[in-house]
Structures are given as C-alpha cells and as structure tokens.
Amino acid sequence: MALGVLVPLKLEHVFDLRLSFGEELPLGPTSLAHDRVFHLVSGGTVSGPRLQGVIVPNSGSDAPCRSKDRAVIEGEWLIRAADGTVIRMTNSGYGPGAPMSAPWRADVPEYAGASLHLSPKFEAPDGPHAWLNRTMFVGKGDRRRIDASIRIFAAM
C-alpha cells in the first residue's frame, strides 16, 4: 500500500483562557442527555502570543454532560479581542466520568479539579483574527468548580 508523503504534525501554543463561572443551572434528566449542567460564564481573560482579550461577561455557558464513563464538554461564549473584535468560541471535548465529574454539581462541595481534553472552534470576522476560522485546535484544561484554565494549541 502506498503511504504517500508523511505529513509532520506539531502543536503550537497560541493562547490561554481563564474562565469564571456564575450561576449553575441543571437541566435535569432527559431521554438523551443525563445530568447536563449549564454553568453561566461570568467573565474571564485571554492571553498569549496569538490572541489577547477578555471573555465577554455572561456571553454563554459551559454545559458538560456527565455520565459514568466520561463527561462530554459542550460550551459556547464570546471573546472580545484587545482590538475590539468579537469572536465566537465553541468548545467541545471530554472530561473524566463520575465520580470525578460529580463535583461539577453545586451539591458536591469538595473538588480538586479535573483534566479536560478539548477541540475548540472559533468564528471570527475577516481581518487579523480570521486565521481562527480555518485552523484546527486542541486544548488542555483544568476545570474547577467556579473557574477553568484552558491552554489552546494550533495543529500545524
């Protein structure tokens, strides 16, 4: 079998996010997604070599869906870059299953943090931030009850 040209792959650190969470809104049991909780994003910061700015306060939520074996991460919020550009960030990925994910619930007080593996997407207008639209990213995060830190890497 011809393998063709082997393309090298590397990850380039592009920026970091710090998110703060406000109100928690459990969706409750559904026939599809058990134990989803919306954590409203109250604010945060973006810093790093390729993007700087803030998380627009109350612009979205982090909504992990927990099951026994994994937590499926889904979230969306807005970034306001230092130059004023508004950028939509859609986050997805995986976190640990129960019981590690249980502390995401407000009724479980003790929580040391959980490691997340992420595959975020961005929607930016034409201009200096348009590269975000057509680049594949991965992220690693540390999720705590009231905040999270996420490092974003471009797949180059």
Partner 1 sequence: MDSQIDQHGDQAAPRLEFVFQIRIDLGERVIFGPLVRGGQQGFVAVKGGEITGPRLQGRVLPGTGGDYPYIWPDGTFEFDAHYLLEASDGTKMRLRNHGYRHGPKDVIDRLLAYEPVDPSGYYMRMTPSFEVPAGPHEWLGKTVFVGTGNRRPNYSIFRYWAVY
Q: Name the minimum Å distance from CB 9 to partner 1.
A: 5
Q: Which is nearer to partner 1, 40 or 44 (CB)?
A: 44
Kindly report the number of other CB atoms within 10 A of residue 13's CB atom.
Answer: 12
Which residues of this protein are in contact with partner 1, per CB under 8 A?
A: 1-13, 69-70, 93-94, 117-119, 134-136, 138, 140, 151, 153, 155-156
What whole-number distance in Å separates Cα of residue 20 and Cα of residue 32?
28
Distances from the Cα of 49 to the Cα of 43, 68, 128, angstroms: 21, 37, 14
Q: Name the minimum Å distance from CB 125 to partner 1.
A: 14
Q: Which is nearer to partner 1, 40 or 62 (CB)?
A: 62
Q: Name the minimum Å distance from CB 57 to partner 1.
A: 26
Q: Which is nearer to partner 1, 40 or 150 (CB)?
A: 150
Q: Which is nearer to partner 1, 41 or 150 (CB)?
A: 150
- Chain centroid to Cα 116, Å, comes to 8
Strands 137-143 and 121-123: unpaired
Q: Name the minimum Å distance from CB 140 to partner 1.
A: 5
Q: Which is nearer to partner 1, 23 or 34 (CB)?
A: 34
Beta strand residue intervals within 34-146, DSSP E = 37-47, 53-55, 61-62, 65-66, 70-81, 86-96, 114-118, 121-123, 137-143
Q: Name the minimum Å distance from CB 4 to partner 1.
A: 4
